[in-house]
Each structure stands twice: as C-alpha cells, then as structure tokens.
Chain A
Amino acid sequence: MSDRSLDTRLNEYLDGLLSAEEIGRLKTDLKRNPELAIRLAELQKVVKQFEHIDELEPSRDISEAVLHQLGPINKNEKVFSRILSFELLATGVLAYFASLALSGTLSEVAAWRLQIPQFADLANRFLAPQSILWEEVRHSASSGIAQWLRLPALGSFSADIIWIALALAVMSLFVSALLLAEKKPLNTRDD
C-alpha cells in the first residue's frame, strides 16, 4: 500500500468517510505499522484540539458599521438612478433632434454633391421645423451658442453640426455613466 493512499485513507478516516470494511482494513494496517498508528494518533489529537477553539464575541457591534457603510451605497444608488433617468430623457430628446439634423444634413450634402434636387427636398423636409418648438429651440440655442463662441450667426449647417456634437457628448456621458455603474471590484472568489 503506497503512502499516498494511506494518507488519503487516514484523512477519510478522520472525516468519518470510510466504510466499515475500509475501517477494518485500516485497523489491520495500523496493527502492522506502528508508525502509521502514531501518525493517526497525532492527527486525531489535532482534530481534538479544534474543540478547544471557542467562539469569541467581536469587540464591537458590526451590524452598526455595516449599516453605516451601506447607507452611502444606497443613497448613491438613488441619486445615481435619478441622474440616470434624467440623462436617459435628455439623451432621448437630443438623439431625436440629432437624428433629424443628421438626416437633413446628409440629404443637403447629397443634394449638393450629387446634384439631385430630390435630395434637397428631402433635406428641407428634415431640416424644416418639425414643430414650432423645434424651430424655437433650434434658433435660440444656435444663437446662444454663436454668442457664447463669439461667432457671427451660425448657418443651418454649422448649427446642425454643433447639435450633433452636443448629442454625441451627452450620449458618451450616458455610456460612461452606465459603464461606471457596471464596474465591479475585482475579486476571484466570494460566494
């Protein structure tokens, strides 16, 4: 019998995993091999020693500390979800306007480059104010941006480009917020 399998059997004997037949065989081996008997006795002593390890009380109430630590997590989650819903709404609105602007601009470029008048009509349809609100917002925002950038009044094309850039910026903010929310600490084993 190799030492390795003896070790395994001793281990399993200590853990109460041997069958009656296997225990019988081990006992025979123990009688024949006093060294093995000593090894088993030492291991049994160790296992017995574990009983002396009594349960201690922590010196502080851990539940309080856990709740304290969880407080900011929950608060942050609430604030974060509010920010997230606002960003979602803003992104939706901007994406709508941006898609109109993008389609209009592309049609404008296509009409100019390809000399196809139908595209100009299409561009007009996209870029023409979809509603009074759209026109108002577009106009005041464009002039606001122009004023802020100290530029002369922006043409429709430049204004649209700025709208697209703004929409992209908000969308990238939104995506980074999502990535941040998904980020979890690295830990190989925990449950």
Chain B
Amino acid sequence: MVLSTENDLLLRSKRGDTEAYGQLVKLYQKSVFNVCYRMLNERRDAEDLTQESFVRAYQRLETFDLTRPFGPWIRRLATNQCLNYLQRKFFVYEELEEERQLPSADRGKNPETEQVQREQAESIRGAISRLSPQFRAVIEMRHFQDMSYAEISEALGMPLSDVKSNLYRGRRQLAREMKDE
C-alpha cells in the first residue's frame, strides 16, 4: 500500500507535480533529517541540508529508477550532500545548548533511564561528529542505512579497501573516545 502510494507520488513528481513531491518529502523528511543530523550534529545545518537534498533529488528525479525504493536513494543522496558540505567547510564541533533541550520522538517513560539514554546518545553523537567526514560517511551508511561495503564503495566513489579501512579506523577512534570518557 505504502509502496503503491510512493510510486504514484513519484510518477506524479516526475511529471512536475510539486504537490505530490511535497507529500513524498513529508514521508521521508524525518529519516533524511536524521541522516543529516548524525552527519553534522547541528540541527539547523541538518535541516538546511535536508531541504537541499530534497531539492537536489527533485532536480534529479528524471534519473531515478522507479523500480527501486525512494528512501535509500534519498538517504544516500543526503549523506553525499553532507559529506560535500563537510569537505567544503572546516567543521568545528560546537554543541548548541538548545540541542540538549529539544525533545526526541520516542523517549522512555522513566525519567532516570531517559536521562542516561540522552547522555549516551549525546556522547556518541559528539564522538561521531569529531570523526573525519569520510569516517562519518561510512559509519552512517553502514550502521544507520544498513548498506553493504560494496554499496558504500559505489555511493561514495571510494575503493572497497578504503571503505573497510575507514570503517575500521572510524570505529577504533570512537572506541578510544568512548574509553576516555
């Protein structure tokens, strides 16, 4: 049902129906925003990059294969947009105070557990944001988009050996950071 709706929206979007595309954006904005947020760890930048990714995707809809699902495609595109952004700009990790106070979608009911989980999430987000853009991208694609090494290699235009090595080095760096905390 969801897929047929998605296909219908995609077909209409390809014909230039922006309203249909708007509905498609509504369906995927949360997951794409989370890709960008994990990559950038800055809410406003993540929202801007999410918006930019959807606009770029609309301009590239002609090249999109309708037999494939839209979600992985737009998330991959967003990861690349973030990677390009990070490489263009020297990214300084700066945690905004407001980030701590923004509510998340699904919180546990126990306030203490909630607090611990929030701290752990913040800690790992912070650690990821200190990784190099390349490490961040492979970790994002492998752990949060469940992509295979070969898919990551294709999406990032990176040799398979580099994907494996970046993934390992990224994880090792995170492990060291987590140990230090």
- A and B: real partners? yes
Residues of A at under 8 Å CB distance from B? 7-8, 10-11, 14-15, 39, 42-43, 45-47, 49-50, 52-67, 69-71, 73-74, 187-191
B143/A50 in contact, CB under 8 A: yes
Q: A191 to B53, alpha carbons, bound, how many Å?
A: 10
Q: Among the listed B25, B56, B83, B172, which residue makes an inter-chain contact with A63, where contact means beta carbons less than 8 Å apart?
A: B25
Residues of A within 8 A of B103 (CB): 57
Main secondary structure of the interface of A (DSSP, over half): helix
Q: Among the listed A14, A46, A74, A191, which residue makes an inter-chain contact with B178, where contact means beta carbons less than 8 Å apart?
A: A46
Question: Given A14-B171, A63-B25, A70-B18, A53 and B55 touching (CB < 8 A)?
Answer: no
B136 at the interface (CB under 8 A from A): no
Interface size on B, residues (CB 8 A): 64
B168/A7 in contact, CB under 8 A: yes
Q: How far is the CB of B106 from chain A (nearest CB, A)?
A: 6
B175/A57 in contact, CB under 8 A: no
Q: Of all chain A residues, which has the CB nearest B142?
A: A15
Question: Given contacts A66-B21, A67-B22, A69-B51, could you give 6 more A-B pairs where the C-beta distance is less than 8 Å?
Answer: A8-B164, A54-B117, A55-B31, A58-B43, A59-B102, A61-B26
Residues of B within 8 A of A70 (CB): 18, 21, 55, 58
B40 at the interface (CB under 8 A from A): no
Residues of A within 8 A of B3 (CB): none
Q: How far is the CB of B111 from chain A (nearest CB, A)?
A: 16
B151 at the interface (CB under 8 A from A): no
B125 at the interface (CB under 8 A from A): yes
Q: Of all chain B residues, which has the CB nearest A67?
A: B22
Question: Given A56-B104, A57-B30, A62-B50, A71 and B18 touching (CB < 8 A)?
Answer: yes
